Amino acid sequence: MFSLLSGCFEFLLRKEELKVLIIGLDRAGKTTLLERLKTLYTDVPGLEADKVLPTVGLNLAHFEALGAPLLCWDVGGAAGLRGIWSKYYGECHALVFCVDAADRGRLEEAKAALDRALGDRDLYGAPLLVLCNKHDCEGAATPAEVAEALGIGKLADAGRATSVQAITAKTGEGVKPAVQWLVEHIKKSQRPELIRRRMLGA
């Protein structure tokens, strides 16, 4: 009886895990970012960039940042795998769209993939963080250039919390400010309440 009561008490006090879905085209650096998050925020270092393999299924990272427990989902970005992304839309608190800023030739394809994702009603109200990865590469597109190419201005006008930031997943540069933005904007958004209500069937 005591263990049942203490289990219930623990459940009620447990902080809600903030779920972040990381999507983007294949080779944008999503898995390298996930492994960097493990290295920065946990005691178990993630894989170095040169050990990361192409993703077919799903990779996960659990960690705590700014007092909040986070769960990040990294799903494969190859054209044939993008259909799986939508399975995670309903449950995620925020969306990270990772872009290879060094590959300007694929920005149009990235815009089409992002537009398609944001057209899904299950992502209603979810803060969007666009990460311009590979900032270490010479000639990489700046956040302003990526924002222009992806048409991000319109999203912010439509009321979605949105930010476009440069990172280098390989070294971790820019990753902590990105996580800070996510935690702050998830907490400010209606998303946790919306997901809670959906889970209760309200």
Binding residues for GTP: 24-31, 77, 133-136
Q: How far apart are CA 135 and CA 170, in angstroms?
A: 10
Q: In angstroms, rounded to a whole number, what is the distance separating the alpha carbons of residues 153 and 146?
A: 11
Q: Which is nearer to Mg ion, 33 or 161 (CB)?
A: 33
Sign of the dihedral through C-alpha 177, 42, 37, 12: negative
Q: Is 82 in the site for ligand GDP (CB under 6 A)?
A: no
Residue of 20, 23, 37, 52 interacting with ligand GDP (CB under 6 A): 52
Token pair, residue 168, equals: 């280098």
How many residues touch ligand GDP under the rule CB under 6 A: the total is: 20
Regarding 146 and contact with ligand GDP (CB under 6 A), the answer is no
Q: Say which entry of Mg ion, ligand GDP, none residue 162 contacts (CB below 5 to 8 A, set by partner kind).
A: none
The answer to the question of residue 170 lying near ligand GDP (CB under 6 A) is: yes
Contact flag: residue 81 with Mg ion (CB under 5 A): no
Please choose, out of 8-16, 37-45, 52-60, 87-95, the segment that lies near ligand GDP by the rule CB under 6 A.
52-60
- Residue 74 or 141: which CB sits closer to Mg ion? 74
Residue 30 engages ligand GDP in binding (rule: CB under 6 A) = yes
- Write out the binding residues: 24-31, 55, 77, 133-136
The one-letter amino acid code at 133 reads N
Confirm or reject binding of residue 28 to ligand GDP (CB under 6 A): yes
* Residue 136 interacts with ligand GDP (CB under 6 A): yes or no: yes
Q: Outline where the chain has alpha helix (H).
A: 2-13, 30-41, 107-118, 143-150, 152-157, 175-188, 191-199
When the beta carbons of 30 and 160 are compared against Mg ion, the nearer one is 30
Question: What is the Rg, in whole angstroms, of the alpha carbon atoms belonging to the chain?
Answer: 17
Q: 177 is written with which tokens?
A: 């400010």
- Two tokens, residue 100: 């290879």
Please calculate the CA angle 38-190-59 and round it to the nearest 5 degrees: 25
Q: Which of 39, 47, 55, 176 binds Mg ion (CB under 5 A)?
A: 55
| Residue located via tokens 């993703």 | 55
Contact yes or no for 33/27 (Cβ under 8 A): no
Interaction of residue 86 with Mg ion, rule CB under 5 A? no
- Give the interface with ligand GDP as residue ranges (CB under 6 A): 24, 26-32, 49, 52, 54-55, 77, 133-134, 136-137, 168-170
